[in-house]
Amino acid sequence: MAILDYGAATGAFVRAARDEGHECAGIELSADARAAAKVVNEVTLLSADEARQIGEAQFDVVHMNHVLEHMPDPLTHLRWCHRVLRPHGLLVLEVPQQFDNDLDRLRRLLRVGGQQQRFDAYSLHHTYFFSPYAMNLLLQRSGFRTLELATFDSKSTPLWPFSAKNVILRALLGLADRLHAGGNVIKVFAQRK
């Protein structure tokens, strides 16, 4: 299977995929991260200029983990992913759903998790913010068929210290996520049409 990790950082995913026997390439914009990938994970990642040379229909899977929200033009990048995927190839991506997702609202209401901020000031480096609806629309416009689009809670409420309150809270947060796609992370599996 040919896999492309778009936004490969220091190449951990690329190395893991290769260790599992897959052909895997990675793209990373940061020269420092590409240099670290050679040292830490013994992989050579492509720069943006090198990635532009990738031909059509080269990969079975494109993986993007918390990358799309940093892109200045997500539609253009998803169309590029569509181009490099083989027919019926799979796009796997995750992005944050940061602003007022249901789980954070419920945490504030129940006063769980310490002091909660309504706006994450550390996310000013994100150029785009996504909801499940917006993500699905973006996928359609870039030529993908959504196979699965769901949210989950990356700030899972611990059961420890074990208490009835934590068990009930975890169940409530899980139910809120399932009923209303209100988790703070959006995960997507989409197929090239």
CATH of residue 90: 3.40.50.150
What six digits make up the tokens of 40? 């830490």
Closest CA to 155 of 80, 103, 84, 85: 103
Domain hosting residue 69, numbered range: 55-99+126-154+183-192
Helices (H), 22-101: 31-40, 48-51, 74-84
Sign of CA dihedral 76, 82, 85, 89: positive
Closest CA to 71 of 91, 52, 48, 40: 48
Q: Does residue 85 have a pLDDT over 90?
A: yes
Q: Is residue 161 part of a domain?
A: no
- Amino acid identity at 72: P
Contact 40, 34 (CB under 8 A): no
Structure confidence at residue 82 (pLDDT): 99
Band of pLDDT at residue 40, cut at 50, 70 and 90: very high
Q: Is residue 21 part of a domain?
A: no
Task: Provide the domain count of the chain.
Answer: 1
Q: What is the mean pLDDT of residues 128-136?
A: 90
Structure confidence at residue 142 (pLDDT): 98
Pick from 77-81, 104-108, 115-119 the range whose average pLDDT is largest: 77-81
Q: Is residue 36 part of a domain?
A: no
Comparing 24-38, 109-123, 161-175, the range with the smallest average pLDDT is: 109-123
Q: Is residue 75 part of a domain?
A: yes
